[in-house]
Amino acid sequence: MRRAMFVVSCVALLAACQEPDSRIGSVMVQWMDWPAEVLASQPFTVRMIVSQPCAANGFRDGGSADQSAVTFEPYFLDVNEDVLCARQNSFEIAIGALDTAGLAPGLPADVARTYEMRAATWEPVVQANGLGSLPVRTFGEVTVRPSGVDAVRRNAAGLASVETDDLGCVRIRPFWVGEPEDLVPLDNQASPVFSAFVRGYYYDAAAPVCGETRVFRLVSVN
């Protein structure tokens, strides 16, 4: 998957004369989208945008499931805290983002039912470097069916901004993404602009919005 990062390079801490310390580091899920409906017992892919320290390797999605929910608690196996990163002509401990995918396990369902989708994510009390244990938050739900799923609609949630582009179209942008296809029109063009934790879903509109049929519907803003 492509990396959605503004951190472009890393250099060793100039004052360090020894091997830098490395450790496992938990990171937060900033955005997640997934199929609104999936087949029972079939694993499915979840797009995740996660925070990433500039010196980190060995990403793991930390996915698990129980009788009520799928949970992602991602982490890196090798996080090097004794590294300074080049960012905007200065050196600092910088956080970027990784646009990646997690694999949710197959979920049992003899009849149609829902499971919560949860992930470790941001809270105001979390350390600025994003490392350490993170609280788990409910992002939304997935419907599991024995057959006959809707393969078009995708649920989504996370940190995002609602913006107006140069042509006056109101679009949603997940944090840390810059690709044009990630700026999707809202179906409600009367929405104000803001930044917040949002929940909603992507779907194909019957009539184009801003010349596009793939749109996003806001369900809640926190």
Mean pLDDT of the chain, nearest integer: 83
pTM: 0.81
Question: Which has the higher per-residue pLDDT, 55 or 8?
Answer: 55
Cβ count within 10 A of residue 36: 20
Q: Model confidence over 53-66: pLDDT tens digits?
A: 877 889 999 999 99
Per-residue pLDDT, 211: 97
Pairing relation of β-strands 37-39 and 136-145?
parallel
The alpha carbons of the chain give a radius of gyration, in whole angstroms, of 19
Helix, strand, coil shares, percent, the chain, to 5: 0, 60, 40
Does 96 score more than 80 pLDDT?
no
In one-letter notation, the amino acid at residue 180 is P
Mean pLDDT of 62-74: 97
Whether 57 contacts 78, CB under 8 Å: yes
Q: Model confidence over 172-221: pLDDT tens digits?
A: 999 988 788 899 999 999 999 999 999 999 999 999 999 999 999 999 99
Question: Which has the higher per-residue pLDDT, 119 or 180?
Answer: 119
Per-residue pLDDT, 83: 62
**85 pLDDT band (50/70/90 cuts)?**
low
